[in-house]
């Protein structure tokens, strides 16, 4: 179903003055004008103006020449479009969805709903009655396709109805080619070609049927408009859309209700403290509502229904879109001091009548961490990001007797293998291991004996107590055949410092010269 | 009143909190331990104090045994004092330790502060070598405030460092001490012992102690008591299966 509000802007202007057609300001010839490069141009005129000779598209100066008393009023295309949006939402009372058809048109899908209104004719009568009740003059038409309905609404008889059983092409053949929703330039081309009616375009003019003639006409037009991809520039495409041979997707309008939260109270509130509590709850709800829609409020309206039916309004406007509930509460708290509760407030409603998109922000990330501390994963993420992933590790034990191989460093949150809880050997190990064993100069009683004294990092340590050796053989399946064994000694010097030193190899093992000594670890 | 009563007990009764002893219920949240880098006494005492604080914690921190321990080592500290060895750690710490190797003192301070902020860490131990510019009084105050706000304890080991300005609530100077000889092998090194000096503390009087880590608990070592307590040492391990000799006899 197509609804065409042919005089939408004029009707709006008249309704803004609150007068009936032909009365008050509407009685004088008036034209709605827009400013163009060549001066003010008329976009629409009321009945008296049309009668006086003003036509849409005419320059105001020309119209003044015809009718010196013509009133000029600036037009309001944005307001017209907003009105049309509201009307198209309102038109969903007749069908499940509706689409905008600017300027001044609404398309409603009424497939299978006509019987609810008592038939197609009764449906169109209801539309006309409802629109007339709102003060708009409208032309309506009902057809199987949107294009056909539009053509009938704009160029057909009023209240035209086509059913799927009718032959669309035959019924619409007499309409002007302007009924195909084409651009001005294309219409001019068609006029020059001598194609005036839809029937001419389809090659079905006259009473006789000639398929060969129709196909030839179509081929010629297809060649002529082969580079025109847009439906509005290609009459054949429009014709096919009108006949339903190709689909014509329409963009339906859908309502977005205002973010609105309400609390109905069990007992009327007469005191400020419980009201503050209710408003805090409402602000929290509003924050969640806005968050779900990814919007922030620019204007908030608080309505308080009193028991005696009075409604108290408090309105705040915000400098930037926000959904911070604490901010809302603070702002409203300053505005509630002058509230007259009377016999009590029974309903409180908060709505955001102006919202703007506001992306989701982690605003309180640091604040939450400040209060409750971070979780382990978050902490490790922060550390890894700054220090590098390899800097944050967890030591795990491995099945090896070589001290360097006996532990591995793995990412801290990876699962630990259960077998790695027990060390491979039970001899006491130092608390610290040097990354690379440092060579020490050792004085010993015999080449294979215990050390007596050694020099490490420039200081001489007298060995007081020794335990060892603990012999660790090289892992022959991994290392070269020349790898030497290690004899580890736990050493405590005179001051109580405890070291873990080893001698690499034994004299005469055939894998090198005299064995060397290394300091490998520090005991606690 | 017997005149033979030890002086320490009299003092402890008169001023119950003024003299530090192991096992006090609420150790401060930020302590510093100055130690030479050529020995692991600083890390050992830090670990012992941390475990002492864990075992003497009030019952409210029931999940303290499950939370992780963060150990932050600066690169210079690793170079001078060595990296942590998992096999040398006590078994109750080993499986829940997270190690951070920081390249600079700034990174180490950042890691310490982030660790103090994390509710999943039961304590944080840090090792920083020398007196870096980054570890100023402001930085230590930051660490103290963060630790006290989030209730995570920090032991900061300062290797080869001068005791400069710091806001740590307890400051220790520690050095290795000769260990008590083990009962079964007097020639071998014994359990870890330290000579610890508490030179600044907010709640306690300064003092010096000989401390030793006795099988996981921190103890005062007043005087050597040879053979007073059986030293099981490594012999405490249970025997599994039969010995070869027993098998051969069968």
Residue-level pLDDT at B139 = 94
* Contact at CB, A392 and B187, closer than 8 angstroms: no
pLDDT band at B159 (very low <50, low <70, confident <90, very high): very high
What is the enclosing helix (H) or strand (E) of B55?
helix B41-55
Residue entry with tokens 């030793």: B212
* Contact at CB, B101 and A403, closer than 8 angstroms: no
Residue-level pLDDT at B125 = 95
Residue-level pLDDT at B63 = 62
Residue-level pLDDT at B134 = 93
pLDDT band at B210 (very low <50, low <70, confident <90, very high): very high
In this structure, are strands A392-397 and A407-410 parallel, antiparallel, or unpaired? Answer: antiparallel
Is the whole-model pTM more than 0.90? no
Task: Return the percentage of chain A with pLDDT > 90, whole number.
Answer: 21
Residue B17 pLDDT exceeds 80: no
Residue B248 pLDDT exceeds 60: no
DSSP lists the bridge partners of residue A35 as A40
Q: Which residue out of A435, A462, A496 would a mutagenesis test of the B interface target, given it has the greatest number of B Cβ atoms within 10 Å? A: A496
Q: Mean of the pLDDT values across residues A192-215?
A: 72
Q: Mean of the pLDDT values across residues A158-172?
A: 83
Name the CA dihedral angle for A200, A202, A207, A211, rounded to a multiple of 10 degrees: 140
Residue-level pLDDT at B6 = 44
* Contact at CB, A464 and B85, closer than 8 angstroms: no
Return d(Cα A522, Cα A457) in angstroms, integer.
Answer: 14
What separation, in Å, do the N-terminal and C-terminal C-alpha atoms of chain B show? 64
Residue A188 pLDDT exceeds 70: yes
pLDDT in tens, A216-271: 777 888 888 888 888 888 888 888 888 888 888 888 888 888 889 999 999 998 88
Residue B78 pLDDT exceeds 90: yes
pLDDT band at B47 (very low <50, low <70, confident <90, very high): very high
- A301 vs B18, residue with greater confidence: A301
Q: A213: Cβ–Cβ under 8 A, 6 or more apart, which residues?
A: A203
Closest Cα in chain B, distance from residue A478 (Å)? 22
What is the enclosing helix (H) or strand (E) of A84?
helix A77-90
Fold of B27-56+64-223: Rossmann fold (3.40.50)
Q: Which of B150, B177, B200 is nearest to B31 (CA)?
A: B200
Size of interface A-B (CB pairs under 8 A): 189
pLDDT in tens, A361-414: 665 556 666 666 777 877 888 888 888 888 999 998 888 889 888 888 988 888
pLDDT in tens, B99-110: 999 999 999 999
Domains A2-161 and A260-357 are alike in CATH topology: no
Q: How far is CA A261 from CA A270, A283, A288, A302, A415, in A?
A: 21, 9, 10, 10, 47
- Compare all CA atoms of chain A with the CA of B106 and give the residue at the minimum distance: A387
pLDDT in tens, A412-446: 888 777 666 677 677 888 999 999 999 999 888 77
Closest Cα in chain B, distance from residue A493 (Å)? 8
pLDDT band at B242 (very low <50, low <70, confident <90, very high): low
- A458 vs B223, residue with greater confidence: A458
* Residue A243: half-sphere exposure toward Cβ, Cα within 13 Å: 17
Closest Cα in chain A, distance from residue B45 (Å)? 8
pLDDT mean across residues, chain A: 86
Name which of B115, B176, B178 is nearest A379 (Cβ-Cβ): B115
Q: Please, are residues A271 and A277 in contact by the beta-carbon 8 Å criterion?
A: no
pLDDT band at B59 (very low <50, low <70, confident <90, very high): low
What separation, in Å, do the N-terminal and C-terminal C-alpha atoms of chain A show? 90
* Contact at CB, A374 and B121, closer than 8 angstroms: no
Return d(Cα A416, Cα A284) in angstroms, integer.
Answer: 43
Residue-level pLDDT at B236 = 47
Q: Which of B197, B199, B236 is nearest to B214 (CA)?
A: B236
A-chain residues within 8 Å CB-CB of B121? Answer: 376, 379
Q: Mean of the pLDDT values across residues B18-41?
A: 88
State the Cα angle at B82 between B80 and B83, rounded to 5°: 140
Residue-level pLDDT at A419 = 63
Q: What was the ipTM of the complex prediction?
A: 0.81
pLDDT band at B12 (very low <50, low <70, confident <90, very high): very low
Task: Return the percentage of chain A with pLDDT > 70, whole number.
Answer: 95
Residue A451 pLDDT exceeds 80: yes
Residue-level pLDDT at B226 = 47
Closest Cα in chain B, distance from residue A409 (Å)? 9
Q: Mean of the pLDDT values across residues A60-82?
A: 89
Domain ranges across chain B: 27-56+64-223
- The per-residue b/e assignment along B186-205, b for 16 or more CB within 10 angstroms, e otherwise, is eebbbbbbbbbebeebeebe
pLDDT mean across residues, chain B: 81
State the Cα angle at A350 between A345 and A354, rounded to 5°: 150
* Contact at CB, A423 and B87, closer than 8 angstroms: yes
pLDDT band at A203 (very low <50, low <70, confident <90, very high): low
Residue entry with tokens 């290797």: B159
Q: For the CA atoms of chain A, what is the radius of gyration? A: 45
Residue-level pLDDT at A209 = 61
- A186 vs A168, residue with greater confidence: A186
A-chain residues within 8 Å CB-CB of B82? Answer: 432-435, 521-522
Closest Cα in chain A, distance from residue B13 (Å)? 33
Domain ranges across chain A: 2-161, 168-243, 260-357, 427-522
* Contact at CB, B176 and A495, closer than 8 angstroms: yes
Q: Mean of the pLDDT values across residues B210-214?
A: 87
Fold of A2-161: MutS, DNA mismatch repair protein, domain I (3.40.1170)
Name which of A376, A391, A430 is nearest B68 (Cβ-Cβ): A376
Closest Cα in chain B, distance from residue A492 (Å)? 6
Return d(Cα B1, Cα B3) in angstroms, integer.
Answer: 6
- A168 vs B76, residue with greater confidence: B76
Residue-level pLDDT at A448 = 75
pLDDT in tens, B91-100: 888 888 999 9
**Secondary structure of residue A53 in the 3-state scheme:** coil
Q: B55: Cβ–Cβ under 8 A, 6 or more apart, which residues?
A: B23, B217
B-chain residues within 8 Å CB-CB of A425? Answer: 87
CATH of domain A260-357: 3.30.1490.100
């Amino acid at each position: 179903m197509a609804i065409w509000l042919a005089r939408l802007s004029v009707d709006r202007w008249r309704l803004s003055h609150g007068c009936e057609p032909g009365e008050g300001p509407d009685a004088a010839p008036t034209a709605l004008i827009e400013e163009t490069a060549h001066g003010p141009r008329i976009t629409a005129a009321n009945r008296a103006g049309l009668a006086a000779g003003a036509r849409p598209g005419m320059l105001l100066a020309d119209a003044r020449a015809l009718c010196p008393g013509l009133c000029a009023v600036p037009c309001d295309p944005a307001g017209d479009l907003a009105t049309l949006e509201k009307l198209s939402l309102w038109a969903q009372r007749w069908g499940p969805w509706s689409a905008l058809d600017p300027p001044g048109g609404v398309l409603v899908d009424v497939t299978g709903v006509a019987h609810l209104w008592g038939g197609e004719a009764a449906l169109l009568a209801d539309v006309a009655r409802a629109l007339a009740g709102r003060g708009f003059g409208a032309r309506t038409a009902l057809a199987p396709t949107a294009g056909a309905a539009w053509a009938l609404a704009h160029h057909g008889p009023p209240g035209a109805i086509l059913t799927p059983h009718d032959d669309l092409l035959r019924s619409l053949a007499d309409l002007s080619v302007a009924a195909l929703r084409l651009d001005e330039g294309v219409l001019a081309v068609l006029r020059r070609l001598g194609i005036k009616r839809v029937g001419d375009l389809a090659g079905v003019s006259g009473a006789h049927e000639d398929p060969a003639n129709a196909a030839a006409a179509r081929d010629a037009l297809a060649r002529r408009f082969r580079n025109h991809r847009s439906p509005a520039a290609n009459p054949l495409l429009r014709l096919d859309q009108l006949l339903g041979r190709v689909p014509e997707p329409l963009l339906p309008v859908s309502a977005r209700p205002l973010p609105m939260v309400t609390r109905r109270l069990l007992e009327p509130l007469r005191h400020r403290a419980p009201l503050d509590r209710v408003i805090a709850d409402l602000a929290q709800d509003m924050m969640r509502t806005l968050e779900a829609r990814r919007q922030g409020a620019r204007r908030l309206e608080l309505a308080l229904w009193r028991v005696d039916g009075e409604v108290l309004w408090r309105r705040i406007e915000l400098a930037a879109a926000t959904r911070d509930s604490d901010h809302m509460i603070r702002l409203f708290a300053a505005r509630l001091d002058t509230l007259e509760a009377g016999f009590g407030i029974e309903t409180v409603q908060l709505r955001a009548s102006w919202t703007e998109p506001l992306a989701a922000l982690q605003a309180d990330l640091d604040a939450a961490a400040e209060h409750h501390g971070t979780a382990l994963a978050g902490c490790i993420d922060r550390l890894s990001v700054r220090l590098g992933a390899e800097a944050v590790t967890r030591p795990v034990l491995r099945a090896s007797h070589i001290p360097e191989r006996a532990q591995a460093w793995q990412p801290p949150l990876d699962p630990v293998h259960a077998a790695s809880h027990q060390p491979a050997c039970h001899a006491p190990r130092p608390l610290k291991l040097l990354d690379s064993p440092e060579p020490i100069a050792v004085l010993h009683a015999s080449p294979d004996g215990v050390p007596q004294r050694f020099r490490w990092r420039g200081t001489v340590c007298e060995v007081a107590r020794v335990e060892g050796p603990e012999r660790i053989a090289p892992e022959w399946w991994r290392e070269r055949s020349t790898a030497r064994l290690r004899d580890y000694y736990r050493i405590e010097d005179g001051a109580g410092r405890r070291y873990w030193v080893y001698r690499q190899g034994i004299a005469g093992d055939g894998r090198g010269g005299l064995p060397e000594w290394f300091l490998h670890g520090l005991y606690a | 009143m017997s005149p033979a009563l030890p002086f320490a007990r009299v003092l402890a009764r008169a001023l119950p909190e003024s003299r530090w002893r192991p096992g006090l219920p609420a150790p401060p949240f930020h302590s510093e331990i100055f130690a030479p880098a050529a020995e692991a006494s600083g890390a050992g005492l830090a670990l012992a104090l941390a475990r002492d604080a864990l075992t003497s914690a009030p019952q409210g921190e029931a999940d303290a045994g499950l939370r992780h321990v963060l150990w932050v080592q600066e690169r210079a500290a690793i170079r001078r004092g060595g990296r942590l060895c998992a096999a040398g750690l006590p078994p109750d710490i080993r499986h829940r330790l997270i190690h951070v190797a920081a390249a600079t003192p700034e990174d180490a301070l950042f890691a310490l502060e982030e660790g103090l902020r994390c509710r999943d860490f039961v304590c944080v131990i840090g090792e920083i070598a020398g007196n870096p510019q980054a570890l100023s009084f402001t930085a230590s105050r930051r660490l103290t405030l963060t630790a006290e706000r989030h209730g995570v304890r920090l032991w900061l080991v300062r290797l080869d460092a001068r005791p400069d300005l710091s806001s740590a609530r307890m400051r220790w100077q520690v050095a290795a001490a000769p260990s008590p000889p083990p009962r079964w092998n007097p020639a071998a090194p014994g359990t870890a012992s330290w000579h610890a000096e508490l030179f600044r503390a907010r709640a306690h009087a300064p003092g010096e102690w000989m401390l030793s880590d006795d099988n996981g608990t921190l103890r005062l070592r007043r005087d050597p008591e040879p053979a007073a307590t059986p030293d099981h040492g490594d012999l405490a391990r249970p025997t599994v299966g039969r010995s070869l000799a027993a098998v051969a006899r069968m």
